[in-house]
Amino acid sequence: MSTDFWVTLHTALGWVLVLSNGVAGLWALGAIRWAALRHRSLMWLVGAAWVLVFVQLTAGVILMRIAAVQAPAFHVFYGACCAVAVFFVYAYRQQLAHRRYELFGLGALFIMGLGIRAMFLGG
């Protein structure tokens, strides 16, 4: 596969990561106030948005290694921070079960922010 394919895939996945985490975060925070938003599909969206972090990270590593693209150091840093943030939020899900929507909402918005920051530094 060509370098253009990996660049396009990585860019598209970056936008999907940012948008999906933004929607999931706002939905989860809205579920705090409105019980009608507390639906199982919210948790599926959060899970899919967070799995996408690792898909995006994998695509970035493939782009760097196979296509020999050199990424800015802080772009890689913020990408790795997204994965670490997913691990931290997931690790605290049992201890903060009584604040599940706050944890997942703020966690998803934080990951969205890290993704935006990575996109700006990616060039």
Please give the average pLDDT of every successive group of 10 residues along the chain, which has 123 residues.
83 95 96 93 95 93 83 89 95 92 96 94 74
Q: What pLDDT sits at residue 3?
A: 79
Does residue 53 contact residue 111 with C-beta atoms inside 8 Å? yes
Q: What pLDDT sits at residue 51?
A: 96
Does residue 88 contact residue 111 with C-beta atoms inside 8 Å? no
Does residue 106 contact residue 29 with C-beta atoms inside 8 Å? yes
Amino acid (1-letter code) at residue 2: S
Q: What pLDDT sits at residue 123?
A: 60
Q: What pLDDT sits at residue 35?
A: 92
Q: What pLDDT sits at residue 95?
A: 93
Token pair 């990585």 is at which residue? 10
Does residue 77 contact residue 113 with C-beta atoms inside 8 Å? no
